[in-house]
């Protein structure tokens, strides 16, 4: 008999990739969708077409439900009787959570408790995956791993932290097979349009199509550990296949600033980002998470999981998709990317950072970036050498799509130890 999975948030980025992944493994996949006045199933339409709704035979079934409605969730768990539940539904936008703190707490926090209670009261052996987030670490300095203390910085992160601890508590108190995947940022062509990476790749497409001239953005100094969503859904599944339930950090181990993302994306499209990007204070957050860099070594060791897609490939895929959506020919504008395996990039950065130890959190208003500090430390060397070094780093960074900061750090730590 096929394994049965229930996915909340199936219409989202991760839900759609996870549904594809589980269907390919032979699962019967049930998804929870919300009623809305316009159909909102663009990411899963292809799955529905490939699996027409004949209830006796279909491997892909959608049900109406909402994380704020415990009666509906109870009924779903009771009727579907899933072997595995992947709880991906959430109001997942950090900035919007400042405008909707109560709703975010209800859907993202209490919604998780409603599902856990449904499993417990039904007495089912269902395995449960909770979509936790690196946002829970907030101000804790990188690298962050499963033992890092949490310091959430938004209503979203606080709600997710409550859901994380409820997951741990149901495992400890009621012996549910409940896992919390602490995933760092992951992106793809299916990423929501108002998250920073997609906003940038869409913005570039609109500039190239002549629809807009500028891209308005917030804080370019914050740093994130960006991976590809398709790689990350495999980790969710792996967690539920282990002998014991546990919590895992899923990340690449590489951090880049938003500015570095912008530079890389504009450069792949042959554009100089400086000419198009303008600061708009509307996108600054009341409290920011400055730097996230995950340490995925537990997942590597216990799940055998590693990211497969390089940063350059991911950016390229997103640009290609958005250019096509705007009617722009990617072949005319996008540079091809040389591929460096994700783990090579990760190794380079971890080594460079490891030499210097974790960096303390920076204040959002600070103007001296670590890059600036490194530049000043070059004071004794000749200007010519410094210019040649910067040019070489920049060229290598573009060719191999590695962050400038990682290369600079690596070279600085090597030269100071010589
Ligand atoms: P997403 O694209 O924003 O998708 C969120 C999904 O949740 C959508 O299907 C949405 O339905 C559904 N949803 C929202 N509120 C709901 C409610 N009250 N009841 C039922 N469904 C509801 O998010 P994602 O990027 O795929 O992320 C998946 C999960 O992982 C989320 O829980 C997110 O917080 C978490 N996470 C994401 C990342 C990341 O970098 N992507 C990292 C760590 C954790 P509609 O389509 O109807 O809006
Ligand atoms: O912001 C900065 C912004 O909205 C990233 C969610 O999936 O990942 C995501 O949360 C950074 C922040 O993602 C703009 O201030 C600058 O520092 O893409 P984002 P996020 O807040 O990191 C975590 C792991 C989740 O769990 C969440 O669900 O980019 N930034 N300018 C901007 N951000 C946005 N959105 N728009 C800007 O114009």
Least confident span in 51-60, 150-159, 230-239, 391-400 = 391-400
Q: Which two tokens stand for residue 81?
A: 């009787």
- pLDDT tens digits along 367-392: 333 332 233 233 333 444 344 444 44
Q: Residue 62: exposed, middle, or buried by beta-carbon count in 10 A (0-12, 13-18, 19+)?
A: buried
CA dihedral 192→406→292→93, nearest 10 degrees, is -10
- pLDDT value, residue 153: 98
Annotated active-site residue 129? The verdict is no
CA of 79 to the centre of ligand 1 (A): 23
What mean pLDDT is predicted for residues 304-308? 98
Ligand 1, atom 33, lies closest to the CA of 92
Annotated active-site residue 146? The verdict is no
Residues of the chain above pLDDT 90, percent: 77
End-to-end alpha carbon distance in the chain: 62
CA of 32 to the centre of ligand 1 (A): 12
Residue 261, C-beta contacts closer than 8 angstroms, at least 6 positions apart:
196, 197, 200, 224, 226, 315
**In a 3-state reduction of DSSP, which class is residue 391?**
helix
Catalytic, out of 27, 156, 170, 276: 156
Number of CB atoms found within 10 A of residue 278's CB: 9
Verify whether ligand 2 is closer than 6 Å to residue 283 (CB atom): yes
Residue 414, C-beta contacts closer than 8 angstroms, at least 6 positions apart:
none
Mutate to test the pocket of ligand 2, among 191, 195, 315 (most ligand atoms within 8 A of CB): 195
Residue 59, C-beta contacts closer than 8 angstroms, at least 6 positions apart:
2, 23, 27, 28, 29, 51
| Cis-peptide, bond into residue 143, ω within 30° of zero | yes
Verify whether ligand 1 is closer than 6 Å to residue 194 (CB atom): no
Verify whether ligand 2 is closer than 6 Å to residue 8 (CB atom): no
- pLDDT value, residue 55: 57
Half-sphere exposure at residue 128, Cβ-oriented, CA atoms within 13 angstroms: 29
Phi, psi of 132 (to 5 degrees): -85, 175
Residue 163, C-beta contacts closer than 8 angstroms, at least 6 positions apart:
108, 109, 111, 112, 113, 130, 132
Mutate to test the pocket of ligand 2, among 15, 144, 198, 224 (most ligand atoms within 8 A of CB): 224
Estimate to the nearest angstrom the gap between the alpha carbon of 230 and the chain centroid.
10
Annotated active-site residue 156? The verdict is yes
- pLDDT value, residue 108: 99
CA of 9 to the centre of ligand 1 (A): 5
- pLDDT value, residue 1: 86
- pLDDT value, residue 299: 98
Mutate to test the pocket of ligand 2, among 17, 107, 185 (most ligand atoms within 8 A of CB): 185
What mean pLDDT is predicted for residues 202-226? 98
Verify whether ligand 1 is closer than 6 Å to residue 249 (CB atom): no
Verify whether ligand 2 is closer than 6 Å to residue 219 (CB atom): yes
CA of 181 to the centre of ligand 2 (A): 19
Ligand 1, atom 25, lies closest to the CA of 13
- pLDDT tens digits along 218-233: 999 999 999 999 999 9
pTM: 0.86
- pLDDT value, residue 48: 87
């Amino acid at each position: 008999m096929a394994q049965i999975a229930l996915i909340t948030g199936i219409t989202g980025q991760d839900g759609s990739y996870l549904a594809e992944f589980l269907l390919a493994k032979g699962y019967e996949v049930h998804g929870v969708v919300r009623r809305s006045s316009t159909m909102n199933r663009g990411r899963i339409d292809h799955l529905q077409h490939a699996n027409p709704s004949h209830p006796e035979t279909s491997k892909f079934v959608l049900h109406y439900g909402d994380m704020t409605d415990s009666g509906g969730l109870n009924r779903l768990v009771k009727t579907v009787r899933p072997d595995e539940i992947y709880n991906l539904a959430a109001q997942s936008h950090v900035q919007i959570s400042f405008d909707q703190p109560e709703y975010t707490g209800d859907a993202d926090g209490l919604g998780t408790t409603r599902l856990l209670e449904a499993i417990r009261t039904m007495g089912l052996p269902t395995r449960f995956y909770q979509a936790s987030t690196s946002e829970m670490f907030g101000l804790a300095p990188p690298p962050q791993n499963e033992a890092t203390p949490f310091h959430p910085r938004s209503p979203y992160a606080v709600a997710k932290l409550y859901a994380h601890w409820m997951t741990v508590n149901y495992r400890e108190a009621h012996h549910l097979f409940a896992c919390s995947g602490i995933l760092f940022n992951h992106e793809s062509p299916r990423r929501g349009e108002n998250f920073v990476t997609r906003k940038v790749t869409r913005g570039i497409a609109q500039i190239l199509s002549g629809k807009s001239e500028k891209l308005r953005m917030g804080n370019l100094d914050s740093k994130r550990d960006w991976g590809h969503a398709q790689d990350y859904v495999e980790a969710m599944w792996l967690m539920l296949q282990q002998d014991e339930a546990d919590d895992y950090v899923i990340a690449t181990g590489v951090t880049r600033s938003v500015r570095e993302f912008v530079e890389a994306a504009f450069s792949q499209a042959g554009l100089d980002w400086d000419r198009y990007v303008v600061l708009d204070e509307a996108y600054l957050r009341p409290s920011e998470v400055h730097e996230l860099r995950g340490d995925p070594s537990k997942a590597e060791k216990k799940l055998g999981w590693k990211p497969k897609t390089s940063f350059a490939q991911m950016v390229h895929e997103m640009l290609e998709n958005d250019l096509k959506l705007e009617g722009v020919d990617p072949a005319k504008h996008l540079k091809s990317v040389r591929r460096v395996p994700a783990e090579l990039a990760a190794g380079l950065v971890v080594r460079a950072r490891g030499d210097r130890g974790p960096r303390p959190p920076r204040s959002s208003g600070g103007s001296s970036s670590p890059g600036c500090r490194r530049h000043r430390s070059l004071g004794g060397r000749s200007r010519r050498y410094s210019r040649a070094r910067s040019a070489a780093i920049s060229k290598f960074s573009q060719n191999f799509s590695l962050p400038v900061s990682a290369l600079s750090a690596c070279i600085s730590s090597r030269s100071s130890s010589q």
